[in-house]
Amino acid sequence: MTHTSRERADALLAQLNQHKQDWIKVSTEDRIHYLERCLHNVSDVAPHWAEAACILKGLDPDSAIAGEEWLAGPFAVMHYLRLLIRTLKAGNAGMPKIELRSPNRQIAKVFPNDLFDRLLWLGVSAEVWSQPGRSLTKDPTHRPEEGKVALVLGAGNISSIAPLDVLHQLFVENRATLLKMNPVIDSLGPWIERVFAQLQADGFLAIAYGGAELGAYLCQHSAVDAIHITGSQQTHDAIVWGNPIAEHRSSSLQIDKPITSELGGITPIIVVPGNWSESDLVFQARHVASMVAHNASFNCVAGKVLVLAKGWAQRSQFLDLVREQFRQIPPRRAYYPGAQTRYETFLAKYPDAEQLGSSAPECIPWTLLPNVSPRSGEYALTEEAFCGVLAEVSLDAATAEDFLPSAVDFANQSIYGTLSCTVLVNPKTARRFSAAVDEAIANLRYGSIGVNIWSGALFAMPEIPWGAFPDNTLDNIGSGKGFVHNVLWVGNPQKAVVYAPFRIWPTPLWFAQHRTLKKVAQKLLQFEANPSWRRLLSVIVAALGG
């Protein structure tokens, strides 16, 4: 794409400022019409969008794995649009039920919401926890008195992130919005522009293209009232401080506007020891390997630290099965900039690294770092690999009762980031040690916690506010500040917890080598365009072949 000049950026921001007051006056009915138009447009461009993303990432657009891009791009946006329409139509009547879990903690049950949800996500439920002493209640019909302009600095790894951030700024935060596409995926820009064509034509949204120089110019622009970034801590700190994190204390703030952010982190997979069957071990080994392999591991929620109990009798067997699963997954093109350099640094730090499976040009092999020390400051626990590396850390424990408190302390204190984590615990162990499991979930300081479900799947649930645990500051930003998505307008969230069966059925769509992934993704897109029982059945039939 042709990069946007500063003069063109000035013109786009001037147009948005002309219309920002008009946007907050747009009626709910007219907002629904905008969303319905976007929904129709996503359906139209989905094949082109998915194909362009596949080509960018080195995937065969006709293969089953191409479904990954259908799901991570157009489907995720279409699903959000449909739920946003549902929320706006329902108004206050559509707000989730809230219960008081403790004297100062509210819990909102946000999923499932209907029979479609129950059938598409068998046995899965989700809740949102409030910040202590604060209310989850929020009025979706409330509008600010003064219009604002937001700048969204888009992500370069998952093609739905930028459109979802735009929709959040427009419809949840009530701000006219300028999106700067990330250069890694700016080839997808024409299709995203098609989705938002009417909002652009009416002056409520603009899209710009360029690199760090344009981003820095826009962040400092007087016409921008607020910023949201999905990216790295280094980019965030350059915007806020003008210096790397180590120099914060001698720096002064470089911006005078609010900034929210989603900056990733090192995602732990906490495996609670128990007595697992052979098929349980194989299933969860595939689950773990898939958490790493999805999108070639260029995910802020990719599994990066496998936390085990050293005294678990099945530990060695499970690790061998994880290795075997990696060997079965074909290598993926390392499309994201800097991956090879980051990978080589990890190899230099960990000479015992195990490269698993086959290799190919432009690919980074799936790599296990065994027996990594749990000490605070350990490289694999403080530096995000953002490539196909998984560190294994085993703690001195044998039972769930001993392991869970140690695992929580380790995750909270020694692993960088607070965006999301996954806990795997079989039903018998969960029942026997229910108090310890409940306490662990309560004490984990992560914005999203998946119990028996990869936390990356939670990103695709718009009912969940998505963001880091809310205790970061600008000079210690970690995984970021603020929440996005939040299609139910839940106020003051602290964390979301999603519970799933130990053996999810049918085969989860994020599992590597899902045999019917593209077919399921296309059927899901058809369902989102116009939900019906017939279309739901076609999704289920396709999913059974996975």
The SS3 of residue 482 is: coil
Q: CATH top-level class for 6-95+139-262?
A: alpha beta
> What tokens does 104 get?
């100062």
pTM, 2 dp:
0.96
Within this chain, domains 6-95+139-262 and 267-499 share the same CATH topology: no
DSSP label at residue 125: E
How many angstroms separate the CA atoms of 435 and 379, rounded? 33
How many angstroms separate the CA atoms of 385 and 369, rounded? 12
| Superfamily of domain covering 267-499 | Aldehyde Dehydrogenase; Chain A, domain 2 (3.40.309.10)
First to last CA, the chain: 37
DSSP label at residue 362: T
For residue 513, what pLDDT is reported? 95
Residue 276, H or E segment? none
Q: Which residues of 283-298 are buried (b: 16+ CB within 10 A; e: fewer)?
A: bbbbbbbbbbbbbbbb
Count other C-beta atoms under 10 Å from residue 55's C-beta. Answer: 13
How many angstroms separate the CA atoms of 85 and 298, rounded? 31
CA torsion, ordered 166, 167, 168, 172, to nearest 10 deg: 130
How many angstroms separate the CA atoms of 491 and 240, rounded? 26
For residue 478, what pLDDT is reported? 95
> What tokens does 363 get?
């690919």
Strand runs labelled E in 156-302: 175-181, 205-209, 226-230, 259-262, 267-271
- Please list the alpha-helical segments (H only) found in 264-338: 278-293, 315-328
Q: Among 162, 148, 174, 159, which Cα is nearest to 215's?
A: 162
Question: Domain extents for the chain?
Answer: 6-95+139-262, 267-499, 515-546
pLDDT tens track of the chain, all 546 residues?
789 999 999 999 999 999 999 999 999 999 999 999 999 999 999 999 999 999 999 999 999 999 999 999 999 999 999 999 999 998 876 778 888 777 788 999 999 999 999 999 999 999 999 999 898 887 777 888 899 999 999 999 999 999 999 999 999 999 999 999 999 999 999 999 999 999 999 999 999 999 999 999 999 999 999 999 999 998 999 999 886 665 655 568 889 999 999 998 999 999 999 999 999 999 999 999 999 999 999 999 999 999 999 999 999 999 999 999 999 999 999 999 999 999 999 999 999 999 998 878 899 999 999 999 999 999 999 999 999 999 999 999 999 999 999 999 999 999 999 999 999 999 999 999 999 999 999 999 999 999 999 999 999 999 999 999 999 999 899 999 999 999 999 999 999 999 999 999 999 999 999 999 999 999 999 999 999 999 999 999 999 998
> C-alpha angle with apex 277: 272 to 280, nearest 5 degrees?
65
| 509 touches 155 (CB < 8 A) | no
